[in-house]
Amino acid sequence: MRVCVIGAGAAGLTTAKHLSEEGIAFDILEKRDSLGGLWYFDKTMSSVSDSTVASSSKTFLQFSDFPIAAGADDFPHHTVYLEYLHQYAKAYGLLAQIRYNTTVTALCKRGAGWEVTFQQNGETQTRAYDAVAVCSGLHHIPLIPDIANREAFQGNVVHSSLLKDMEELKGKRVVVVGGGESGADMVKELTPLAGKLYFSLRRGMALTRNFSPEKLPADFDSTRAKVWLPRQFLHDYNVDCRLPDKYSRFKTIYTLLGLPVLLVLLLIAPRKAAPLLKYLFSWKAWSALVKSPPRHGPASGVELSRACTEFCQEIPQSEQEIQQKAYQLKFLFDWYSGTLHNTQPFTKRMEFLRGIVEHSVKMMPGIRSFQGGKTVEFDDGSQEEIDTIVLCTGFRTYLPFYTDNPRLDGRSLYKNVFLPEDHSLAFIGFARPNVGALPPVAELQARWFVGVVAGKLQLPDAASMRATIQADAAQYNRVRANYAERLNSLVDYHVYTNQLASLIGCQPQLWRLLTRPKLLYLCLFGPYASYQYRLHGYGAKFDMALAAAEQIPAVPAERVLQHSIVYAMKPGFHLLNRLGFRQLKPVF
């Protein structure tokens, strides 16, 4: 057997590594002149910029059995993570199998296998393979929105993936279009450079900071303790329980059930416990038991820009006030996203909010049209003179070499990986997690694919897979109505990795950790990182998992107390679900 791995980014490397461990021959075809995918800075292709820093912590970025060096920054610079990928490839003997400057032009089914056509150094070749892992990602063809009267605009329009030197925009009047991490990063980078800077959004977006108040990476808050909550209640925990002026049925029950714990928390973290205890003295807390207030407002860039302008009328006079207002501003972006906090991709960059607070960045709604010359009209009817528009609008979901289905859609794949008709083709690294990071998701997908190819894991029959695909797609379209067509492969990190682990047979067996209380404590209350899927079952590497776990800092006591309350709620949710309250069913 021989497998073709298309792409030498994180997804391709981890796929090749697991093929190697099973003794399966493979080739890695990579169109760039080095490995790393988007992490490799390239002025001619889509890639990171020279200043890019990871938006996920190293604990979530690292593979489950290959920890990043202990001394690395919590959020490593792209060159540091690229070096990590080089070390990974070297450690597992992958470098000799990579064919650089090799562009795949066609992928066709031939008999029981596949024919892969590629160009290398001007020469076209076709090779036969028994199986193919497509690990190339979708960041190839920029998505350019259709804006009315585009031909009349005399300024410059550039996609963010092709803008490598920010100095080009020094002193210019610039509009950054589109949210997400690329948009947030672009606004932050351009704030000190641009003459005038505008941030244009059609709706709000979910924001989260990089570090918690305890100076730990904020994604450490993604723990097993709370991610079992049904979607709407996870929203209530993440939003309502953190804001004193927010009310919900969940928050009232959480506060009542946790009253003894909150009294203890009052002694060690009064700033966290006091608002919740005070909450119980409000009539709104009790009325929320009957009818909870709305969880979000309209998906509106017009309303968001107006709310930001009103909220930021006065410039803060102290650093503390700036930080406080910037954090409060985050919740306006959440509100006008038009959906629950955790149904959309999280933008783990909040630094740009400071520019809005200090009036160096102006929020604008979406662009309606161009008016000739350099005049841009926005959805609220306002007009501005603009030199450059930077499009942070993502990429088209398109694989030009896969002619059978070039518009790849995660909703047509079994758990975003397999075609129900053919298990010898897998798409690895295309599912985009809302939190966490892509490399550990791709690693689980790779472990699953290689287990199937090696004959050690079995997939359901085609009919069962199609039924699951249909059910998953219906839920996706319902839950992610604002994003379903543009982001058709978004997954809930914790739910999805738990599903893959169940299919692989590598879920941690927590009862077996009773003799290792420190590790059990970390699994229950620490970050839900990939090392947990190496503790037991298929592909277990306990010592490597332990090495990764030992690098994780201690969990703050106040977080343990808060999350203990959520754990205490889980049996009640299970019971009520069995009694017919389906909306209370834990997600796992």
Q: What is the CATH number of the domain that holds 404?
A: 3.50.50.60
Identify the band that residue 317 occupies on the pLDDT scale cut at 50, 70 and 90: confident
Answer with the residue of higher pLDDT: 142 or 75: 75
Query: Do the domain assignments include residue 215?
Result: no
Rg (the chain; Cα; Å): 24
Tokens 């066709």, residue located = 108
Alpha-carbon gap, residue 229 to 248, rounded angstroms: 15
Q: Sorting pLDDT into bands at 50, 70 and 90, what band is 504? A: very high
Task: Give the per-residue pLDDT at 47.
Answer: 67
Which of 373, 391, 409 is the last residue in one of the domains? 391
The per-residue pLDDT for 495 is 93
For residue 43, is pLDDT > 70?
no
Domain interval for residue 338: 150-208+296-391
Q: What is the mean pLDDT of residues 67-96?
A: 93
What single DSSP character describes residue 122? T
Has this prediction a pTM greater than 0.85?
yes
pLDDT number for residue 486: 79
Are 288 and 304 found together in one domain?
no
Indicate if 100 and 14 belong to the same structural domain: yes
The per-residue pLDDT for range 262-279, each reduced to its tens digit, is 999 888 888 888 988 999
What is the rounded CA–CA span in Å between residue 245 and residue 586? 27
Please write the tens of the pLDDT for every residue from 391-406: 999 888 788 898 887 7
Same domain, 286 and 304: no
The two structure tokens encoding residue 119: 């160009």
CA distance 125 to 118: 6
Same domain, residue pair 127 and 30: yes
**Interatomic CA distance for residues 217 and 177, integer angstroms:** 28
**Are 267 and 344 part of one and the same domain?**
no
In a domain, 286, yes or no: yes
Residue positions counted in the chain? 588
- Determine the Cα–Cα distance for residues 511 and 520; give it in Å rounded to an integer: 9
At residue 322 the predicted structure's pLDDT band, cuts being 50, 70 and 90, is very high
Tell me, yes or no, whether 408 and 271 share the same domain: no
Task: Answer yes or no: is 514 within a domain.
Answer: no
Residues 320 and 341 in one domain: yes
Give the torsion sign (CA, 530, 532, 536, 540).
positive
**Mean pLDDT, range 56-84, rounded to an integer:** 92
Please give the average per-residue pLDDT across 61-77, as a whole number. Answer: 91
Within this chain, do residues 193 and 290 fall inside the same structural domain, yes or no? no
**522 lies in some domain:** no
Whether 57 maps to a domain, the answer reads: yes
CA distance 102 to 562: 52
Distance between CA atoms of residues 326 and 524, nearest Å:
32
527, part of any domain: no
Contact at 8 Å (CB) between 238 and 344? no
Q: Are both 186 and 330 inside the same structural domain?
A: yes
Question: Can you say whether the dihedral through the CA atoms of 188, 190, 195, 201 is positive or negative?
Answer: negative
Give the number of domains in the chain. Answer: 3
In a domain, 55, yes or no: yes
Domain match, 185 and 328 both: yes
The per-residue pLDDT for range 360-383, each reduced to its tens digit, is 999 999 999 998 899 999 999 999
What is the sign of the dihedral through the CA atoms of 21, 27, 29 and 33?
Answer: positive
Is residue 280 located within the same domain as residue 352? no
**pLDDT tens digits for 9-32?**
999 999 999 999 999 999 999 999
Q: What is the pLDDT of residue 574?
A: 93
Maximum CA extent, the chain: 76
pLDDT band for 87, please (50, 70, 90 cuts): very high
As a whole number of angstroms, the distance between CA 443 and CA 17 comes to 10
Please tell me whether residues 336 and 449 are part of one structural domain: no
| Residue type (1 letter), 301 | G
Q: For residue 459, what is the DSSP state?
A: P
pLDDT above 90 for 283 = yes
Return the bridge partners of 433, or none: 491
Residue 185: which H helix or E strand, with range?
helix 180-190
Q: From 327, 362, 391, give the residue that closes a domain.
A: 391
Query: pLDDT-derived band of residue 46, with 50, 70 and 90 as boundaries?
Result: low
* Beta strands 367-370; 362-364: pairing state: unpaired
Whole-number pLDDT of residue 389: 96
**What share of the chain in percent tops pLDDT 70?**
99
Structure tokens at 341: 């906090």
* Side-chain half-sphere CA neighbours of 246 within 13 A: 18
pLDDT (0 to 100) of residue 113: 94
Comparing CA positions, the residue from 343, 232, 226 lying closest to residue 293 is 232
